[in-house]
Structure 1
């Protein structure tokens, strides 16, 4: 099971994810909704430069204009882009044409069964689909799980890898993996303690996710 640790805001956060054995580190940039742990593309670039081999840097953003998304990737030096808000397949194609090396993840918010059709719609444009939870003011980092039965159906019917996010913790990630069978899992708030990324919880999350794969 592949694991992404999101919301990397400091070098300490990054060291924690690397030491835990994460496969990817997410950097929140270009934020329009409520979130914690946002960084500038320049700050992300400084951290990305210290990553060891085989750990993927992911630019996670709320922005939607292709020109803005392209700039974030170019400045941060991330090699994967995770788009949290609404774009079109044509927007994704424009970004891909400008940055052919880039892997693109499209977030789909699982609010009801309509998420199945939305995920399949974006599967033709994106390299992977990420299933997340949203609230009125947050489009990620909610700490709230969604309906894993819907997530499992998306995994079964989607033609690209599906990443499960939304309210995952060291305590529930094992059950989530067994029920949904995603390609990867993604955590942000679930490995924090008193608002700070916790080394023990991060290690436990990675270990528990992989124990069930």
Structure 2
């Protein structure tokens, strides 16, 4: 099972994820909704310079204008772009044309069964989908699980990889993987303690995820 740890704000956060054997680290940048873990693209680029080989740096953003997305990736030096907000599918093609080396992940917020149609709409334009939870205020990082039955249906019908996020923790990730069978899992708030990424919870999450998948 592949694992991404999101909300990386410091070298300590990054080293914690690397020590747990992560496949990717997420840097939240270009925010329009509340988050406690945003970093500037230049700061992300500094950390990425120290990232070991074979670990993917992911730009996680609320931005939705094509030029803003392209600029963010170039400034941060990320090689994967995760778009959390609504964009027109064709605009993802514009980003791909400008940045042909970048993989694009499109967030689908699983609030009800309409997420199934939304996933299908973006499937031809993205390299992967990420199934997340949102609230009126937040586009991610809510700590709230969604309906895994809907997520499992999306995974079963998808022709591209699907990543499961939204309220995952060391305590529930194994159950979620067995239920949904995703390509990968993504965690942010679920491995925090006292507001910071916690090494013990990070290791426990990785152990449970790998053991389940």
Name the TM-score, length of structure 1 as normaliser.
0.99
Aligned twin of 1:23: 23
RMSD: 0.4
Kept in 2, the 8 Å contact 1:120–1:159? The answer is no
Q: For residues 4-53 of structure 1, what are the alpha-carbon distances to aligned partners after superposition, in whole Å with 9 as ceiling and x for unaligned?
A: 00000011100100001000000000000011110000000000010001
Aligned twin of 1:81: 81
Task: State the distance in 2 between where 1:86 and 1:178 align.
Answer: 29
Describe the SS at the equivalent of 1:177: helix
Task: State the distance in 2 between where 1:36 and 1:161 align.
Answer: 28
Q: CA deviation at 1:198?
A: 0.1
Aligned twin of 2:128: 128
Aligned twin of 1:5: 5
Q: CA deviation at 1:211?
A: 0.2
After superposition, residues 138-157 of structure 1 pair within 5 angstroms as 138-157=138-157
Task: State the distance in 2 between where 1:151 and 1:193 align.
Answer: 27
Aligned twin of 2:119: 119
Q: CA deviation at 1:121?
A: 0.7
Q: For residues 86-128 of structure 1, what are the alpha-carbon distances to aligned partners after superposition, in whole Å with 9 as ceiling and x for unaligned?
A: 0011110000000000000000000000000100110000000
Task: State the distance in 2 between where 1:109 and 1:74 align.
Answer: 26
Describe the SS at the equivalent of 1:16: helix
> Structure 1: which 4+ aligned runs deviate by more than 3 Å?
none
Task: State the distance in 2 between where 1:66 and 1:48 align.
Answer: 23
Aligned twin of 2:52: 52
The count of aligned residue pairs is 213
Describe the SS at the equivalent of 2:146: coil
Task: State the distance in 2 between where 1:105 and 1:93 align.
Answer: 12
Describe the SS at the equivalent of 1:93: helix
Unaligned 5+ residue runs, structure 2? none
